[in-house]
Amino acid sequence: MNIGTAEAAVAPDREKDEPKDGPLLLLSAKKPESPSTQQPSVAKADAQEADDFFLVDETDHVEANAYFEAAVEEEMWDSMATEYLTRLKTKSLRHEEVKRQLKKRYERMRQQGMENFRNNAPLYREATERISRECAS
């Protein structure tokens, strides 16, 4: 059976003067992907990931605050910043940027009276021990 006969059997109401390969070619043609449906550029994805870095859920903020407080007490900016990045599953911000953010936040909190946190020694000690255990594992 040739293409013309198969086409006539499937669609007998088509006109006989229609090109034999025309409709078959149209059915098999794939529409090219438009630029708007392609993946975003790497730079745009990195920028979005950097924005998402500061839009984490509440439990991540609580955990980050505990890590931050331990970093303040032990002055372990490098290791705590690395752990902070790992915990939040992002690598888009440079290590130095995270350290800078932690130090900046420490200064802001200290100015707002966060020294009182250290006065509450039992809770602070418990949080520090928990963080140390988690970092070790």
Residues 77 and 126 in one domain: yes
Residues 78 and 11 in one domain: no
- Note whether residue 35 is domain-resident: no
Confidence of residue 136 (pLDDT cuts 50, 70, 90): confident
pLDDT higher than threshold 60 for residue 22: no
Residues 23 and 87 in one domain: no
Other residues' Cβ atoms within 10 Å of the Cβ of residue 118: 11
Residues 19 and 63 in one domain: no
- Assess contact for 68 and 114: CB atoms under 8 A: no
In tens, the pLDDT along 2-21 reads 555 555 555 555 555 555 55
Find the mean pLDDT for residues 119-123.
66
Q: For residue 24, what are the domain limits?
A: 3-30
Find the mean pLDDT for residues 25-42.
48
